[in-house]
Structure 1
Amino acid sequence: MSTTHDSLRERLTALRGPGVSPRPLDARALAALAANPGCRRRALLDAAGVDKGAVAEVLGAPARFGQSRFAFSRGHAFEARVKRDDCAELLRLLGAEGAGGTAAVVPDLSAPGPEGRAARTRLALEEAGERAAAGVWTLLDHPLLALEVAGSVAYLEPDAVAVAPDGRWTVVEIKSFPILDGGADALKVGAAARQAAVYVLALDEVTAGRARPDVLLVCPKDFSNLPTAEWVDVRKQLSVTRRQLARLTRIEEIAAALPEGATFDLRYADDGRTATRPRLELTAAVDAVPAAYAPECLSTCELAFHCRDRSRADGCVESLGRSLRADLGTLTTVEAVLSAATAHSGDPADPAVAALRRAATLRAEALRAAEPVPVAAPRQGARAETEERACR
């Protein structure tokens, strides 16, 4: 590895904390990062392997999402079912001829450390290409693929990679959500497609572009535990992911902009004892890295609630959504928007300003129309006469 990479690794280790094991940068995190490439905060913390959930706890803004233990166990049980009997069921779903009796080579990919496992995977893929020429299937169970992202290496672990005799290299994604009547939940399929696109991108790096642009999504059929599958075309997600990851500012540039002594290590030595780093100190380190908050972050990032609070406090219109931010053009704060809408500032020729003032006028008219019509109070004599008649 080059001197630059060694220096960057040392810098990221210092930011994470000496002796702290890095959190792996997986495909789910890369897909979320590709959806928001302008967020330097997430890019740096993910590259350093910082536990963002633990950081959010100390900041007082813990994340409120995640996979339940039940769902995690169910997913593992379903994957084991799909891969049992030498992956015979998975071969059938892949379309292997005579799947019931077709054998596949499942190489041992164990090796020390992520670098060793990635190297063993590369070797296994080369050997699979040779077997394919002889008409033999190869199934790689949880291979480890390396992908460089903004100057930092991410190690990605798909559920499986199949190499067919015709030379097709297929990413297999196994999920525990069901396929009901031939269709699955569109949101879940979309999330799986974005995640699988990251795997295809990494596999392309190893196989020189021979990975298939469609992945095999394996799920339970209806309400049973029987596996079924559908092919998902990820060309669009692959193109977007490749373009967005290329836009990321290089990690060393983000790290170099941090103030001296900044760290995300949650522990520090205090009179010979290990203590939790004070919230104010950790907050200053986190806020020193620019973020790009959007409401979509709430379902993908552990620091989203902290970033949302900061965005709202600064009056940023991004906290209301990316589409609104794009519509408002040069108006970047809520204060500027309100000032432009009330004609206290802004260029009337600006389409955004003109639209805001038109909306403010329509709102004022609607409020006036909704005001109740005042009813005149009856005269005192007439009121007394009415009460007397009522008593009769």
Structure 2
Amino acid sequence: MLRHRFAELRGPDVPAKALDARALAALAANPGCRRRALLDGAGVDKAALASALGSPSAFGQSQFAFMRGNAFEARVKADGGAELLRLAHERLDPGAEPPARAQVPDLSAAGPQGRVARTALALREAAGSGGWTLLDHPLLVLEVAGSPAFLEPDAVVVHPDGSWTVVEIKSFPMLDGAADPAKVGAAARQAAVYVLALEEVAARLAREGASPRVRHRVLLVCPRDFSNLPTASAVDVRRQRAVTARQLSRLTRVEEIADTLPEGTCFSPELPVEELTAAVEAVPAAYAPECLSACDLAFHCRARAREGGAVTALGRPVRAELGGLSSVEDVLAAARGEAGDPDDPAVAALRRAAALRAEALDAARARTLPAPSAGPEAALCR
């Protein structure tokens, strides 16, 4: 029933766009946005939707970067992942037996559910093998807001002690052993989603009598300096994992959001702009400037927030400081003393700031006004 409802929301013959870890990390960073939760849960292509609305997204990976990333990943995994496993041994488990003969199981199966089951079986078999195992592009599943999200990490390494490590392969460089902190942070948040999905597999296997363990230090593999040679760093994602788990648990279930929509609501890019805009506006959004780097609909939502004078367009810190004042008009009225409770700390701070601004402007005007004339007598004396 829910699958049929989602198909209606996407439009006739519009395929579903699968959720990935990057989208889930962005969704977890803004759990109050019902619009993104519904569109992602229903498999709506937000990039196509944004273009149809006249506010196309301005971010994404170039074709050149995509090809470079694929070429680097292929190099890292060449020869049965020998270099990747060497880096895992060096950075994460130097006391274990060197990965001279590692297993690389075949994870192919029919359909996503088949691949998820095959991945779980391979993880269970590898955990009891006593050696190194490399799972190349395993498929995991994580329930988000009542809908399953299929996730495909670059790789998962199984250590000789049976523990599991997520591997993230990125094409941005590590210069002198360090990478761009912002890019490392984004990779850590993405890896935290995979860790959560692996923990779901571990919990299911534990109920069957196994005792697997998911490591919270992931392996980030990047090019060394300006070469195409791989290097790696161990990144602790415990904080990102805890934040992501908490935020995802706060998401309203997608079917609850869908039930609040008017009958016949559809997000097909083929619809007229007016009808499509009305459908999108029927779902509440929680825009923040951070959305510009994570959501295809950010430019549309920003324009709407500015039109409505929403203070969220100024950023979450500003929104938090303003308390119950949710619009720019309310803020200005409170600052002028025309509205608002004087005992409200936010209102009092605004009025004090307005008074200080008025004093500063009066002082500046006084300094720039011409000196008053001394009269004709002074001119005669000269």
TM-score, length-scaled by structure 1: 0.90
Cα distance in structure 2, aligned partners of 1:13 and 1:232: 39
Alignment partner, residue 168 of structure 1 = 163
Deviation at 1:244, TM superposition (A): 0.3
Alignment partner, residue 152 of structure 2 = 157
Maintained 8 Å contact 2:127/2:163: no
Structure 2 stretches lacking a partner, 5+ long: 204-211
Q: 1:255-274 to 2 correspondence within 5 Å?
A: 255-266=258-269
Cα distance in structure 1, aligned partners of 2:125 and 2:12: 38
Moved more, 194-203 or 12-21: 12-21
Maintained 8 Å contact 1:16/1:265: yes
CA offsets per residue over residues 15-65 of structure 1, 9 Å max, x none? 112322211100000000000001010011111111111111111111111
Alignment partner, residue 369 of structure 2 = 373
2:10 to 8, 13, 16: 16
Letter of the aligned partner of 1:53 in structure 2?
A: A
Alignment partner, residue 241 of structure 2 = 238
1:210 to 208, 213, 221: 213
% identical aligned pairs:
68
Maintained 8 Å contact 2:126/2:162: no
Letter of the aligned partner of 1:123 in structure 2?
A: L
2:311 to 317, 335, 348: 317
3-state SS of the aligned residue for 1:153?
A: strand
CA offsets per residue over residues 259-311 of structure 1, 9 Å max, x none? 00000122xxxxxxxxx310000011111011100000011000011111111
Alignment partner, residue 127 of structure 2 = 129
Alignment partner, residue 120 of structure 1 = 118
Cα distance in structure 2, aligned partners of 1:238 and 1:282: 36
Maintained 8 Å contact 1:219/1:227: yes
2:356 to 362, 368, 371: 362
Cα distance in structure 1, aligned partners of 2:345 and 2:268: 47
3-state SS of the aligned residue for 2:17?
A: coil
Alignment partner, residue 330 of structure 1 = 324
Letter of the aligned partner of 1:324 in structure 2?
A: V
CA offsets per residue over residues 176-210 of structure 1, 9 Å max, x none? 11111121111000000000000000000001272
Moved more, 357-366 or 113-122: 113-122
Cα distance in structure 1, aligned partners of 2:268 and 2:112: 23
Cα distance in structure 1, aligned partners of 2:348 and 2:164: 54
Maintained 8 Å contact 1:343/1:357: yes
Alignment partner, residue 104 of structure 1 = 102
Query: Do residues 65 (structure 1) and 59 (structure 2) align?
Result: yes
Structure 1 stretches lacking a partner, 5+ long: 1-6, 267-275, 387-392
Cα distance in structure 2, aligned partners of 1:265 and 1:191: 30
CA offsets per residue over residues 137-194 of structure 1, 9 Å max, x none? 1110000100001110000000000111112200000001111112111100000000
Moved more, 12-21 or 49-58: 12-21
CA offsets per residue over residues 318-363 of structure 1, 9 Å max, x none? 1101111111111111111111111111111111011101110111
Maintained 8 Å contact 1:26/1:157: yes
Alignment partner, residue 25 of structure 1 = 19
Cα distance in structure 2, aligned partners of 1:54 and 1:199: 27
Query: Do residues 251 (structure 1) and 254 (structure 2) align?
Result: yes
Query: Do residues 339 (structure 1) and 333 (structure 2) align?
Result: yes
3-state SS of the aligned residue for 2:133?
A: strand
Deviation at 1:130, TM superposition (A): 2.2
Moved more, 43-52 or 365-374: 365-374
Alignment partner, residue 292 of structure 2 = 298
Deviation at 1:250, TM superposition (A): 0.4
CA offsets per residue over residues 98-140 of structure 1, 9 Å max, x none? 75x7121111111222122111111111111221xxx221110
Cα distance in structure 2, aligned partners of 1:174 and 1:349: 54
Letter of the aligned partner of 2:233 in structure 1?
A: E
Cα distance in structure 1, aligned partners of 2:171 and 2:376: 76
Moved >4 Å (runs of 4+): 96-99, 376-383
Maintained 8 Å contact 1:27/1:156: yes
Cα distance in structure 2, aligned partners of 1:61 and 1:21: 22
TM-score, length-scaled by structure 2: 0.92
Letter of the aligned partner of 1:76 in structure 2?
A: N
Maintained 8 Å contact 1:136/1:165: yes
Maintained 8 Å contact 1:86/1:103: no
Deviation at 1:381, TM superposition (A): 11
Q: 1:183-194 to 2 correspondence within 5 Å?
A: 183-194=178-189
Maintained 8 Å contact 2:128/2:162: no
Letter of the aligned partner of 1:244 in structure 2?
A: Q
Maintained 8 Å contact 2:38/2:257: yes
Cα distance in structure 2, aligned partners of 1:109 and 1:124: 8
Maintained 8 Å contact 1:213/1:233: yes
